[in-house]
Structures are given as structure tokens and as C-alpha cells.
Structure 1
Amino acid sequence: MSDSIAVTAHNLYKFFGRRPRDAVRRLENGESRDVVSRTGTPAVIDASFEVKKGEIFVVMGLSGSGKSTLIRMLNGLVEPTSGTVTIDGTVITGASPARVREVRRRSVSMVFQHFALLPHRTVLDNAAYSLEIQGVPAAERRERALAVVRRVGLDGWENKLPGELSGGMQQRVGLARALAADTDILLMDEAFSALDPLIRREMQEQLIELQAEYDKTIIFITHDLNEAMFIGDRIAVMRDGRIVQVGTPEEILTDPATDYVAQFVKDVDRARVLTAASVMEPVRALVSLTAGPRAALRVMRDLQTSAVFVVGEGRRYLGVVRDRDVMRLVRNSDPDLSSVIERPTSSVTGETALSELFEASVESALPVAVVDSRDRLLGVIPRVTLLGALGNVSTTTGEIDLVEPAPTISVEVITQTLLATAQQPQGALVTANEGSK
């Protein structure tokens, strides 16, 4: 994902009703939305954000929160009452209709909730329609459209009409049309909300794959929190026309800015949103391979633990060594620590969801190691940290946060895990919070 900015919204207001600029002035001066609503509808109030190139930016809110009006201001379909929209460095607010159309043609494609396909055109011709509008020659647009139709899973359906397709397949045609246009930015307004749950999840997964492959910037509107958490790199939460928080899924889940957001996220499956990187702790029980057995024993003694992690050159994760094995090396005057290393069996990357760590954590008495793509040790996740994250309990204070734990992590599951812990041999490694115990 690039750090350059694809879309900027700056202090956007949209008021539907009489004397809109006066209504904006009153809102800016602190009058409440309810009072101003007596003369019309304040649909969007002082919305500001930036969307980076190559990210999926989700705008989430309940019906009436202003999210659909907001996305229509981003592509010039609705003119803001106040504020500016910038697309790829071009300010479209106040621009001529011809200029706005040119920016849309060059930079922005839209995928609609109800597909918006041309019923008399085939799948291929619908996918190629945006290229036709751009004036692309027939042979070229057919080739480009055919490639994306196949990529979205509609190979063999090119000559079918929309009426012959299921809802999920029709939405794939809409997505193919947007991709064929080859614009850098995709705006998707409740694009999957009309689909059955299984098809919807499949489309969400495919969208993530396509975004990674085509490196598009996607602004996605949804009222579904789980959908937002699943696909979004960052999420803007809207309420009554205002953006009340912008952050990553993890930030919104673990540090809600308002009581409204906290209530919104309380039923989220934390195990599928939080990642290993978000809960891992620094490793204190750590020794370099070249340091030798005596150094390993010294770390174990200082931290009052019976095992340490071992890293090689460049902090590459090699495994763990235990006190009894290291003592044997010391007695035999053997400096080769590598001979007693237990090879890593439960390392994960920072992007791994907590739901995928549960089994590994239960089966091992040792913390789960977190590594990067080059096998460098980044941190560890002790079992108590994992359980605390799933139950929204602080592992440093033991206090339960005000946000209730996700119901998908049941008491029975946590109890079974604790019982499994008690039946396993001791030897858990010390992490940053445990050295003084």
C-alpha cells in the first residue's frame, strides 16, 4: 500500500432543505443536528479524512448515518454544501460538469448495491461498457473485458444476459465492469448487502484478492460491522452525519472513541479481527545462539524461567532450549547450544488471526512465537495473553474492560483451555510482564 493520497475529503457538509449555507453556518457554530433538522436534513456534517492509494477504506454506519450521501459527494454525483473533495490531486468540488465527468472517467469507477447492469446486454458487453464510453476500440475492449470476466469467476458465462444470472453472479459482472475500466479508485456502495450470506462472504474474500492483485484504492460503504472489520484496512464510523472515529479494525475494536462505537463493536468476534501482532508481547527470555549455554542459564536464572528462546544471526528464530539440556552442556563443557535446540513448531506471522492461534496455544506449554516473513522473532503470545485478548481482559491489571467480550468466545471454551493448561508440563517462558514474578 502506497503512502500517497488518492482521495481527500475536507470539512464536507451536505444539507438538504431551505437555506443550506445558513444551516451549515449554524452547525459550525455549535447548534445541534436536531435543532438544525427543523428546516431540512443535515446528511453529512464536517466529514474529513484521507484515503491512501492501495487501501480498502470502509465507511460504516446505520441507515440514515450519511454514508451513501458521502460516497456520492466523492464521485461528484452530489455537490457538497460546504467543503472540498480531491481525487488524485484534482479538486472536483465546484468544478464544471465536464471536468467532473473527465475525473470520473479517468480515475473513479462505481459498483452499486443493485448491480445496475444493462439487461439487454450480455455479461461481456456489460463488462466492456465503461471501455466503450472511453472510446476504446471494439477488439481491445472485448479482450480486456474478457480477461476480467474470467478473473471474477464468470468464465463460460460471457454470452449470458443478466436475467439468466444469480444475484452473486450479477454482482461479479458489476465488479468486472469496474475493473475493466482500469481506474485507480473503486467506490462500492453497499455492494454486497443484497446477497445471501454465503455468497456475500465469498465476494468479500474475492474483493480482498482482487485488491491485492490490481492494487486498487477501494472506498466501501456498508452497514455491516463484521463486513467492515473483515475487508477494511481502515474504517470510518458514521453516526448522524458525523464521522465519530477513523482507525484500523483493531484500533476500533480495542480502543473505541465513544460509547456509541463501543456498543457497536461489543458483539464482534474478536478472535477473527485481532491479529498476533496486536497482542504479542516482547520477549525477555531470549538468547543468541553464539552466546552459549552459560549465557542461556544466566537468563533463565535472572528471569526465573525454565526455558529461553534462541535466535541466530539477524534475530532469526531457531527454537527454544530448556534448563535440563543446557545444564548437561555446561557439565560436559560443550559450547554448542544448537545441539539441544527444540525446533520451532508453533510460530506464526503477525497477520495471523487469533482464531488460528487457539489450537497451537492449547497444545503447547510454551508461548507462541511471532515471526516476520524472514523468520525473525518479533514477539511471543503467552496463553494468558491470548485468553485475555479473547475475553477483553487486561493481562497487566486483570480488569475487564467495559466493552463486553464477544459471545463467540464462550465460557466453556475458555474453561476447556484452562483445564488443558493445568494438565500440561510446566516450562512457560517469561515475557515482558512476568520477569518480577
Structure 2
Amino acid sequence: MASTEPVFAVRDLWKVFGPGADRIPAAAEHAHLSAAELHARTGCTAAVRDVSFDVHRGEAFVVMGLSGSGKSTLVRCLTRLIEPTSGTIAMDGRPVLDMDRAQLRDLRRHRAAMVFQHFGLLPHRSVLDNVAYGLEIQGMGKAERREKAALMVAKVGLEGLEHRRPGQLSGGQQQRVGLARALAVDPEVLLFDEPFSALDPLIRRDMQDEVIRLHRDEGRTMVFITHDLSEALKVGDRIALMRDGRVVQVGTPEEIVGAPADDYVRDFVRDVPREHVMTVRSAMRPARDGESESGPVVTPDTTVVAAIESVVRSGVPARVMEDGRCLGVVDHSRLLAVVANVSDEQEAA
């Protein structure tokens, strides 16, 4: 039976920088201070403030926020590249904060691999040997690690470039090398820290598609850090939106866009075309006689805009099917009502 335990379980996590940092989380009077007020009163900066969430097995979990929101500090706390001030982190039920140096080394080498914004490639090594570097650190023999590295190079679409050096590659190709290097050690979790923010838009889109493909094909757990809302909505199964070190909302892209938790989130998603994110779940109605037997088929996760195209093309309601079962139907009026309600909410906001 597959484990239902979260890959990461984070509870009440704080990371505070400054004098007497360990006293900040326990002091009730600091809980509601803004970042500026906290620094003015204590000289400390709380990069992560009382954060709790779970990352489920096989999930692409995105942490999104503007610069200075604490998202990069948070992802580094997960494997103690940065030491948390207080709180708990468990990986597969094992307390990360209780791990000794050898256990942490094992976690970072075998179980959780990081893909950074700056590629960190070794300029004097070939693509193949850069990809094999983590396996070399693990002590794997040269022939075996190069064979495995070659498979990873092919997996990320760099076949034929194995013997080039990083300086002979484009930015997107270099980022693919970094991704292949992380995949080569076969980690349980891939941690991405704004990996594509320095890339040109077209290359960035290609790399997003590559990550989505790998996630779909392998079902590997991913924690993905970004400041880009469209990237978060594209990559994430669930999104944690951060502000000033706190998580202000955790939810699916549809939940974040369709039911923002507060005015900050509402402003963040204001310009998102909701019909491209909202799914037919929000527009379904029960099937009437005969409607469950014919008409185009959509899934519960089909977006409203895609369902509108299906219904307009066919001229009849679309069936919402899952596991061979008709859950309901969506018709033109129901779909347009979703769009209209969204527009009304935008006008009201």
C-alpha cells in the first residue's frame, strides 16, 4: 500500500536573522508586526514567519511571491542549507532538524536535489561530466556514472552535445544540464529555486514545458520557487503564495484565482484570464435525459475556455466524464455564466 505520509510536513517554521533571533518566534507581541516594525523594534528580520504546509507525494508544489517574500529562504530551510530558527520539518516522517551531518549529507545527495537559478556548472568539464558530477560525489564508478549521465542528457533533449563545455551552450541548454545533473542522482524530490528567471521568454517557456513533461512522465515530487504568477499557474498542482515571510494562501491554481483569500491575493491574480484557469467543475449541472449518452467529452479538469470551444463546435452540451462515468454536463449558458461572474467580480474589485 502506497504511503499517504507527506514528503515534506512543515509546521510553525521561522527563520529570523539578527541579534537574539531565537527569541522572536516565542514572543507574542511580535506576531502581528510588519517586517519594517519588527526590524525597527528588534533589529531582526524574519524571512520566514510561522509557515506550515504539506507537500504530497508526486505533487508539483509551487511557492510564489515577490522579491523579499521569503520563498528562497524557505526552500533552503527544507534541507537545512539555511538553518531554521524554530518550528519543525519532517521528510517522509523523519525530523530534518534532528539529522546529524552525515544524515543531512545523505538527504542532499540522494533524496532532495536542488536546481538553482544560476546553473553552477563546472566550466572545464563536458556536459556529460557535469551531469555525472553528483554521481561521482556519491562514489559511483566512472563507466557506470557516465552511462547513467548519458541517459539523463538524452532525457532533457541534449543528445549530441555530451562533449561540449558549458561555455559552448546557450542559457537554456545550460539550464537543461543543471536539470539533468539533478535528475541523475534519482532524487525523491526536485527543489527548484527560480530556475528559469534569467532565461529569455521563449526559452523559459520551453523549460517550463520540459519540467511539466518530466513531472507527468515520472510523477516525481517537485517544490518549485518562482516570482512569476503565470509560471506558478502553469507548473503547480498547488500554490503557496507568500508575502513578507508568511504564507497567505495555499490552494490549487483554480482556488487561488477563483477564491482569493484576501485583497493581496485578489490584486495578484486580477489580470489573470480566469476562464483559462477555472475548470468545468464550476460550471457543471446534472445531465438531463439523453445528455449523458452523446455530445463531446471533457474531463473535470478541462478549462472553461477549452470547454466553450467544444460546445460551440458541436452545438450541444459537453459531457464531463471521469473513469467512464458521466459526472454531469456543461452547456453554453453555464460556461458563459462562469465567465460573466468572473467579469462581475473583477468589476467589483
Per the normalisation by structure 1, the TM-score is 0.75
Deviation at 1:71, TM superposition (A): 0.5
Deviation at 1:218, TM superposition (A): 0.3
Aligned pairs (5 A) from 1:66-81: 66-81=70-85
Q: Which has the larger radius of gyration?
A: 1
Alpha-carbon contact 1:230-1:273 (below 8 Å) kept: no
Aligned to 1:353: 303
SS at match of 1:117: coil
SS at match of 1:93: helix
Letter of the aligned partner of 1:380 in structure 2? V
- Measured in 1, the distance between the counterparts of 2:28 and 2:265 equals 22
Alpha-carbon contact 2:270-2:346 (below 8 Å) kept: no
State yes or no: 1:275 paired with 2:224: no
Deviation at 1:2, TM superposition (A): 6.8
- Measured in 1, the distance between the counterparts of 2:240 and 2:347 equals 19
SS at match of 1:357: helix
What is the CA deviation profile of residues 338-392 of structure 1, one whole-angstrom value per residue up to 9, with x for unaligned ones? Answer: xxxxxx3x22222222232232222344222211243x21211121221232343
Aligned length: 345
Aligned to 2:263: 259
Letter of the aligned partner of 1:125 in structure 2? D
Deviation at 1:205, TM superposition (A): 1.3
- Measured in 2, the distance between the counterparts of 1:123 and 1:152 equals 12
Deviation at 1:45, TM superposition (A): 0.2
SS at match of 2:333: helix
Letter of the aligned partner of 1:41 in structure 2? T
Deviation at 1:99, TM superposition (A): 2.2
Percentage of identical aligned residues: 50
| Stretch deviating more after TM superposition (33-42 or 184-193) | 33-42
Q: Give the alignment partner of residue 247 of structure 1, picking from 251, 260, 275.
A: 251
Aligned to 1:383: 332
State yes or no: 1:366 paired with 2:316: yes
What is the CA deviation profile of residues 187-243 of structure 1, one whole-angstrom value per residue up to 9, with x for unaligned ones? Answer: 000011111111111111111111122221100000011111111010000000000
Letter of the aligned partner of 1:387 in structure 2? L
Do the aligned partners of residues 254 and 22 (structure 1) sit closer, same or farther apart at CA in structure 2, a change above 3 Å counting? same
- Measured in 1, the distance between the counterparts of 2:23 and 2:82 equals 19
Aligned pairs (5 A) from 1:81-230: 81-230=85-234
- Measured in 1, the distance between the counterparts of 2:186 and 2:83 equals 25
Alpha-carbon contact 1:347-1:368 (below 8 Å) kept: yes
Deviation at 1:90, TM superposition (A): 2.0
State yes or no: 1:318 paired with 2:320: no
SS at match of 1:25: coil
Per the normalisation by structure 2, the TM-score is 0.93
Alpha-carbon contact 2:5-2:92 (below 8 Å) kept: no
Alpha-carbon contact 1:27-1:36 (below 8 Å) kept: no
Structure 2: give runs of 5+ residues left out of the alignment.
none
Deviation at 1:23, TM superposition (A): 1.9
Considering only aligned residues, what root-mean-square deviation do their CA atoms show, in Å? 2.0
Letter of the aligned partner of 1:177 in structure 2? R
Do the aligned partners of residues 278 and 153 (structure 1) sit closer, same or farther apart at CA in structure 2, a change above 3 Å counting? farther
Letter of the aligned partner of 1:370 in structure 2? V
Alpha-carbon contact 2:115-2:192 (below 8 Å) kept: yes
Letter of the aligned partner of 1:351 in structure 2? D
Deviation at 1:130, TM superposition (A): 0.7
Aligned to 1:401: 345
Aligned to 1:18: 19
Aligned to 2:56: 52
SS at match of 2:167: helix
Aligned pairs (5 A) from 1:319-338: 319=294
Do the aligned partners of residues 104 and 388 (structure 1) sit closer, same or farther apart at CA in structure 2, a change above 3 Å counting? same
Alpha-carbon contact 2:13-2:84 (below 8 Å) kept: yes
SS at match of 1:5: coil
- Measured in 1, the distance between the counterparts of 2:207 and 2:327 equals 33
What is the CA deviation profile of residues 109-129 of structure 1, one whole-angstrom value per residue up to 9, with x for unaligned ones? Answer: 000001111111111111111
